[in-house]
Amino acid sequence: MYLFVLRASGHEYTLIFENAGQLVVGDNVQIGGRAVGTVDDIRLTDNNQAAIRILVEEPYAPLREGTDAVIRLTSLSGIANRYVAISPGPDASRTLADGTTIGTVNTTTAVDLDQLFNTLTPDARRDLQGIIAGFRTQLDGKGEEAAQATEYFNPLLSSARRLVNEATQDEGALEDFIVSSSRTVTALAEKRDDLSSLVGNANTTTGAIAAENRALSEALALLPTTLRRGNSTFVNLRSTLDDLDPLVAESKPATKDLAPFLRELRPLVRDAKPTVADLSTLVRRPGSDNDLVEATQKLPGFQRVASPAMKNSTSALQKSQPVLEFIRPYIPELVGWFRDFGVGAANYDANGHYARIQPIFNAFQLHDMPVGPAQLVPLPVAQRLAGLQTGMLRRCPGSASQPAVDGSAPYRDSGGNLDCDPTQVVAGP
Instruction: Give the per-residue pLDDT at 41.
Output: 93
Q: Greater confidence, 21 or 24?
A: 24
Cα(277)–Cα(269) distance, integer angstroms: 12
pLDDT surpasses 50 at 405: yes
Report whether 60 contacts 31 (CB < 8 A): yes
* Residue 409: inside a domain: no
In tens, the pLDDT along 171-194 reads 778 788 888 888 888 888 888 888
Tens of pLDDT, residue by residue over 308-337, are: 888 888 888 888 888 887 777 777 777 877
How many angstroms separate the Cα of 189 from the Cα of each of 176, 183, 194?
20, 10, 10
pLDDT on residue 7: 47
In a domain, 113, yes or no: yes
Q: DSSP code of 319?
A: H
Q: Is residue 181 part of a domain?
A: yes
pLDDT at residue 386, rounded to an integer: 60
Same domain (yes/no): 107, 17: yes
pLDDT of residue 142: 81
Give 54-98 pLDDT, tens digit per residue. 999 988 889 999 999 999 887 655 556 789 999 999 988 899 999
Domain boundary among 170, 187, 211: 211
Quick check: 390 pLDDT over 70?
no
Within this chain, do residues 96 and 27 fall inside the same structural domain, yes or no? yes
Cα-based distances in Å from 207 to 197, 199, 223, 345, 386: 15, 12, 22, 83, 102
Residues 38 and 103 in one domain: yes
| Count of other CB atoms within 10 angstroms of residue 307 | 10
Residue 1 pLDDT class (50, 70, 90 cuts): very low
CA distance 218 to 215: 5
Query: 39-43, 128-132, 375-379 — which one is most confidently predicted on average?
Result: 39-43
- In a domain, residue 87? The reply is yes
**Over the chain, what is the mean pLDDT?**
81
Q: How confident is the model at residue 360 (pLDDT cuts 50, 70, 90)?
A: low
79 and 15 share a domain?
yes
Instruction: State the DSSP code for 254.
Output: G
| 114 and 178 assigned to the same domain | no
Is the residue at 315 inside a domain? no
Residues 102 and 166 in one domain: no
Tell me the mean pLDDT in the region 112-130: 79
Average pLDDT over residues 371-394: 69
Q: Are 18 and 103 in contact (CB under 8 A)?
A: no
- Higher pLDDT residue, 368 or 43? 43
Mean pLDDT of 362-374: 76
Where does the pLDDT of residue 4 fall: very low under 50, low under 70, confident under 90, or very high at 90 and above?
very low
The separation between CA 83 and the C-alpha centre of its own chain, rounded to angstroms, equals 68
Q: Which residues pair with 107 in a beta bridge?
A: 69
pLDDT of residue 2: 38
Region of poorest pLDDT, from 1-15, 225-239, 270-284, 360-374:
1-15
More confident call, 387 vs 151? 151
Residue that finishes a domain, picked among 92, 118, 144:
118
Q: Residue 138 domain-assigned? A: no
Reported confidence tier of residue 428, pLDDT bands at 50, 70, 90: low
User: In whole angstroms, what separates CA 265 from the centre of its chain?
Assistant: 32
Q: Is the pTM of this model over 0.85?
A: no
Domain hosting 111: range is 10-118
- 392 has pLDDT over 70: no
Banded model confidence at residue 357, pLDDT cuts 50, 70, 90: confident
Choose one of 149, 184, 211: the last residue of a domain.
Answer: 211
Segment 79-88, tens digit of pLDDT: 567 899 999 9
Tell me which of 98 and 364 has the higher pLDDT.
98
Mean pLDDT is highest, among 30-44, 334-348, 382-396, for: 30-44
- Mean pLDDT score, 345-355: 79
**pLDDT the model gives residue 37:** 93
Total domains in the fold of the chain = 2
H or E segment to which residue 6 belongs: none
Q: What is the mean pLDDT of residues 237-251?
A: 83
In a domain, 260, yes or no: no
pLDDT for the residue 283? 82
Cross-strand partners of 7:
10
Cβ contacts of 85 within 8 Å, gap of 6 or more: 30, 31, 69, 70, 71, 72
- Is 422 within the bounds of a domain? no
